[in-house]
Amino acid sequence: MKEKLEALKVEALAKLQEVMDPQVLNDLRVKYLGKKGELTEVLRGMGGLSAEERPVIGQVANQVRGAIEEIIGAKQEAFQQQETQQRLQAEKVDVTLPGRRMQQGGIHPLSRVVQEIEDIFIGMGYRVAEGPEVETDYYNFEALNLPKNHPARDMQDSFYLTDDLLMRTQTSPVQIRTMQAMNGEVPVKIICPGKVFRRDDDDATHSFQFHQIEGLVIGSNIRMSDLKGTLQQFVQEMFGPNTDIRLRPSFFPFTEPSVEVDVSCFKCGGDGCRLCKQSGWLEILGAGMVHPNVLKMGGYDPAKYSGFAFGMGVERIAMLKYGIDDIRHFYNNDMSFVKQFKGV
């Protein structure tokens, strides 16, 4: 039996040494070491051995098993290393390739226009004031000389959340809140940027949500000429030094007198073109002297103080400044549109 075991060892080691395939290696493992393998078959004959021979043959059998398992383990490790190397070779990353550069973002044209307008008025001594977008009926209408059932309310078709709360239709409530917070002190010089909401059908020039910037000045002996000079300075810095303004009589419940403000067309210089519809003028904002009732609501004596206010749509300014023909471009998340303003 000892000779059979030695012969089995020589045969197994010779065949295992030549193995070049993991599957063949596994088949040989089963052939020699499996439950029905050749080593097991030899050991089944140990029952006919004497008590003195069994330990000797058992020791030889363990040596044979150990030698076979050792070469099988070495081969398995070699195959695993080979597989790992092949996988690393197939999946390797070439670190010499240039990196993928992140795209640089840009400021949205509406944000850019708001910043530009704020910079202009801050340079004239104004400060920026903000207020809530969900507003009370009192601040949005009543304190601005628009009592309940006033026909001018219909022009704004508001989004009401309750009988007394609505999405603000203008940033004018910030003016009243600021006036009341000042407790009658002067001067007041603020601009109020922010989103406003009105029940408009979306089209090329209207949106249910848009942006406004309003301004308010209150002090002693504030006159209409101060308003005109302020707006003249603004449009020249915004649209160019040769831009002029034109005031046309209008009506707003919170100002008296009230005006619509036009600027000379900065594209054609006032000669008439497609942008200004051959008129030479572009309408950009509304303004006027603060109504005495609004001054009272804000805590100011109209016999002692006066003021002016103005309001402009940011989208309107941006559309004119950049030649945009549809307000919906601002909100459609179209990257091809936004990227045009990256370097502006």
Structure tokens of 275? 């942008």
Q: Is the pLDDT of residue 3 over 80?
A: no
Strands 209-219, 188-197: pairing is antiparallel
104's CB contacts (< 8 A; 6+ apart) are: 342
Mean pLDDT of 134-138: 95
User: Average of pLDDT values for 153-169?
Assistant: 86
279 Cβ contact partners less than 8 Å away, ≥ 6 residues apart? 265, 272
Tell me the mean pLDDT in the region 235-239: 93
Annotate 61-94 with b (16+ C-beta within 10 A) or e (fewer): beebbeebeebbeebeeebeeeeeeeeeeeeeee
Residue 256 in marked binding region: yes
Question: Is 257 within 8 Å of 225 (Cβ atoms)?
Answer: no
Check pLDDT > 80 for residue 275: no
Answer yes or no: pTM beyond 0.85: no
Say if residue 17's pLDDT is above 80: yes
